[in-house]
Structure 1
Amino acid sequence: MRDGVEGEAVAAAMDLLIRYGEGLDAERLCEVRNVAGTSTQPTPAKQKIVAEHGWDKAFAVINLDSDQDLSIPSMKVPTCQLQHGFGADAIGTIPYRQELVQQQEDAEAFASDRGINILATCTPYQVGNLPVRGEHIAWMESSAVIYANSVIGAKSNCEGTASTGAASLTGRVPYWGNHLDENRYGTHLFSSEVRIDSFLDWGLFGYHVGGIVQEERPVLTGELGLPTATDLKHLGAALATSGGVEIFRMPGFTPEAPTLEAAFGDQPVPTEIAYTSEDRRRAYETLNDQGSSDDVDFVLLGCPHASLEQIREIASLLDGKTLHEGTELWVMTPRALRSVAQRNGDIATIQAAGGKVLTDSCPAMSRTAPKGCQVFATDSAKQAHYLPAILGIEAWFGTTRECVEAALTGTWRGELA
């Protein structure tokens, strides 16, 4: 492939992967048949390249790290587009430039013609891209990667724009990191003394543990309730936010850890680290240390993108009610799930209350919030961590119910139970 047997674009892609692998000191490449990356995100830099040279050149520069004039063929392996900019449903609704929406639609047409599925979500596993246990994949997006590694049992490192672009055209990535079984075993053992059986507590637990282990691999035990897929999505996102965790283990729950001993492989089980009620309190206070005003003008739900169950809960909390005049509510979800929720009647309920259900992106990715926003509330540890730094606004973190209540009253009244 590097020598051009499959064309110049594939040769450029393989050249990138070989350089990447050499930089990692990997011994070889491995085959992948599932890629989740980004090729359609609108940016000023991309807009300039497209205006001067066209979409093929933009893909070559951004997704293959190549300055060559390449003709981009169809992707060699199944590939999907993760979240990007806001879609057309945001035009006239949020302060997002219409020209960026148009650039994105043009990019989608180019990518779709080359076999890229425009799932446009940070949770591709919720809308059809579900790899199998043991499968080598090449995914971007921290919350998606940790879910794939931990909950599904697929094997991926947290890849980048260029490596996923190259993997799409070659079906290969360097064989290193999480692709090797010996790098997937646990490094730390945590035991929760606190009963964890709520969406809020899965997020707090993950945020606390991630801050301690950073890029290592925690094994989670103790007073754990039976998590839903939505809970595990939230847990993984929190672990990957406060740290750089790409894989965790929960003996008896996650597929590669039927027992505590299996979670650590041939290594001795380490001394457990307790997660206490004091740790829980500290995690909560850390996530709320960037809020001072109780006046909430923006509520953000759906990070990672909301599941159908989350949308249904939000709709039930809003049923027959009206948002506070000075407060906006945005619910982020995959477009495919929005269609189902529309059919279920939940979208109409949220909209009747004054809320907005938006797709394809999020405020952190697109750096967009309601005009004049000063204080926002969220049930996402990830957004509470990132959005204040990205947009310079205050944050409150709490339960979904507390966030909806803030949207209805314009006031934050959340507290740790």
Structure 2
Amino acid sequence: MNLTDSDKAMLDGAEGPAVAAAMDLLVRYGRALDAEHLCDVRNVAGTMTQPSPAKARLVAEGGWDKAYAVLNLDSDGDFAIPDMRVPTCQLQQSFGPDAAGIAPHPAHDLVQLQSDAESFYGRKGVNILATCTPYQVGNIPVRGEHVAWMESSAVVYANSVLGARTNCEGTASTGAASLTGRIPCWGNHRRANRLGTHHIKVRTRVTGALDWGMLGYFAGDLVQEERPVISGDLGQPDLLDLKHFGAAAASSGGVEIFHLPGITPEAPTLESAFAGDTVPEAVPYGADERRAVYEDLNSQGTRTDVDFVLLGCPHASLDQVRDTARLLEGRRLNSGTQLWLMVPRALRTTADRNGWTAVIEAAGARVMTDSCPAMSRTAPPGTKVFATDSAKQAHYLPAILGIEAWFGTLADCVEAAVTGRWKGELR
């Protein structure tokens, strides 16, 4: 790899052993990827504070510095961790305090471990956003900015909707980037790797979160880890639509960037999404394909009794919280059904002030922060069947928890929570 003088100085220890370990990791990582050099990053979204038995052992042995060295730098070194060199945020972690007595919580010592971690890393310059949607709560990189983010739905949103540049990084690479402001320049950091590879032509109107999620699920399954370009009969999407589209595409496949000509920033036209090259023959997405995706997502449900309704994956926007409150106002959940709405804690504060949380909780539902059932691998005790408006959760949670899934609109899900039965259908 071609290292700058600054890179070499960090590698040689000029900024201390922790930074040297971070640069050593990045050099090894870059060489494994055949990256020619590193690039500057000014924005990191990673994981430092989530509790685990392994982290508890490391903290007991050598404190938080040791835990960061081992888990975030792949190093056995015994050294102090300096302040983060570049702005860094914590993504989702374990459930927050508002889940006490509601979610099957980890042991008390792990709850305390997370609180201690937040205090330690907060002092080191980590913003404890604790959400898979950092772009909803102030972390919004600009077009063309190189960043180092984890979490598949956050990565695809950053690349596609914001026009920032990141690969789907890991705990160690983001930990090293936080201390150096550098990351291997490969993959999505390079313009040639951001161009479209497949063209999907939409022939049936796509509007609303349900349809955008299903289209994303279709696109991801089709292209796997490549880059879809979607044109045709598309309604104007909003943040919620694009959030659901990207999360679904990253679940059924491994999509990290997509283009919607005339909507997303790097594709003003269909031709520009392919850099002026010949546009590939279009794969159609029409009524038959739409129906097939819906049936696929609902193929894991056989029983119509619903124990659990999960909303907010990726974490809910304020619009979703408002709409949930409107649908629940004056109603009560079925006695055998729980509803959890997952939101960023910063947005919960706004929802509280707007009165939406009170309406939702008066119906017997819960607004919770910091994590989700897939991340924490937990659901209400006894759950056998759940319903969700997220194609991502319908894809993952049955495999993670061994439960059945129903997928539908927000209204379908709220109705299931109130009646205890699934009645959703494709309209």
Residue identity opposite 1:35 in structure 2: V
Match status 1:87 vs 2:72: no
- Following TM superposition, by how much is the alpha carbon of 1:10 offset from its aligned partner in structure 2, in angstroms? 0.2
Partner of 2:417: 407
More moved, 109-118 vs 266-275: 266-275
**2:7: which partner in 1?**
none
Describe the SS at the equivalent of 1:254: coil
The residue number in structure 2 matching 1:102 is 112
State the partner residue of 2:124: 114
Check conservation: 1:406, 1:413, Cα contact below 8 A. Answer: yes
Deviations 1:21-47 (A, max 9, x none): 000000000000000000011111111
CA distance in 2, matches of 1:358, 1:101: 15
Q: Deviations over 1:170-213 (max 9, x none)?
A: 00000000000011010000011110011100000000110010
Deviations 1:138-169 (A, max 9, x none): 00000000000000000000000000000000
CA shift digits 1:235-264 (9 cap, x unpaired): 000000000000000000000100111110
Question: Cα deviation per residue 1:30-75 (whole Å; 9 max; x = unaligned)?
Answer: 0000000000111111111112221110110000000111210100
How many angstroms does 1:386 deviate by? 0.3
Partner of 1:281: 291
Q: How many residues align?
A: 417
Measure the CA separation in 2 of the matches of 1:217 and 1:320.
Answer: 45
| Partner residue, 2:72 | 63
1:28 counterpart letter in structure 2:
H
CA distance, structure 1, for counterparts of residue 398 and residue 153 of structure 2 = 19
The alignment partner of 1:54 has SS state of: helix
- What is the distance in 1 between the residues matched to 2:307 and 2:199? 40
- C-alpha separation in 1, matches of 2:37 and 2:299: 46
Q: Aligned partners of 1:23, 1:46: CA distance in 2, in Å? A: 27
Q: Counterpart amino acid of 2:405?
A: A
Partner of 2:239: 229
After superposition, residues 9-408 of structure 1 pair within 5 angstroms as 9-97=18-106, 98-408=108-418
Alpha-carbon distance between aligned partners in 1 of 2:71 and 2:38, rounded to the nearest angstrom:
22
Distance 1:413 1:101 in 2: 38
Residues in 2 aligned to 1:366 and 1:103: alpha-carbon distance in whole angstroms:
15
The amino acid across from 2:71 in the alignment is I
Residue 378 of structure 2 aligns to a residue whose secondary structure is coil
Q: Cα offset for 1:287?
A: 0.8
Provide structure 2 residue ranges, at least 5 long, that are not aligned to the other structure.
Answer: 1-9
| Further displaced range: 273-282 or 97-106 | 97-106
Q: What do residues 104-146 of structure 1 show as CA deviations (whole Å, max 9, x unaligned)? A: 1111111101000000000000000000100000000000000
Distance (Å, rounded) in 1 between the aligned partners of 2:28 and 2:271: 37
Give me the identity figure in percent: 68
The one-letter code matched in structure 2 to 1:222 is G
Work out whether residues 35 and 78 of structure 1, in 8 Å CA contact, stay in contact via their aligned partners in 2. yes
SS at match of 1:387: helix
1:277: Cα distance to partner?
1.0
Distance (Å, rounded) in 1 between the aligned partners of 2:104 and 2:169 = 30
Using the TM superposition, give the Cα deviation of residue 387 of structure 1 relative to its aligned residue in structure 2, in angstroms: 0.4
- Which deviates more, 43-52 or 311-320? 43-52
Query: Distance between the aligned counterparts of 2:142 and 2:109, measured in 1?
Result: 39
Structure 2: distance between partners of 1:69 and 1:207 = 45
Query: Do the aligned partners of 1:85 and 1:100 also contact (CA within 8 Å) in 2?
Result: no
Instruction: Report deviation, 1:273.
Output: 0.7
Following TM superposition, by how much is the alpha carbon of 1:379 offset from its aligned partner in structure 2, in angstroms? 0.2
**Residues in 2 aligned to 1:103 and 1:355: alpha-carbon distance in whole angstroms:** 28
Separation in structure 1 between the aligned mates of residue 103 and residue 198 of structure 2, nearest angstrom: 43
- 2:276 and 2:225 map into 1 onto residues whose CA distance is 20
Q: CA deviation at 1:99?
A: 2.7
Farther off after superposition, 241-250 or 50-59: 50-59
Find the aligned partners of 1:122 and 1:335 in 2 and give their Cα distance: 11
Q: CA deviation at 1:100?
A: 2.4
What code does the residue aligned with 2:242 have? Answer: L
* More displaced 10-residue stretch of structure 1: 97-106 or 114-123: 97-106
Q: State the shift of 1:232 in Å.
A: 0.3
CA distance in 1, matches of 2:257, 2:83: 31
- Whole-Å separation in 1 of the counterparts to 2:240 and 2:110: 31
Query: Quick one: which amino acid aligns to residue 346 of structure 1?
Result: W
Partner of 1:416: 426
TM-score by length of 1: 0.99
| Structure 1 unmatched runs, 5+ | none
Shift, 1:352, TM fit? 0.2
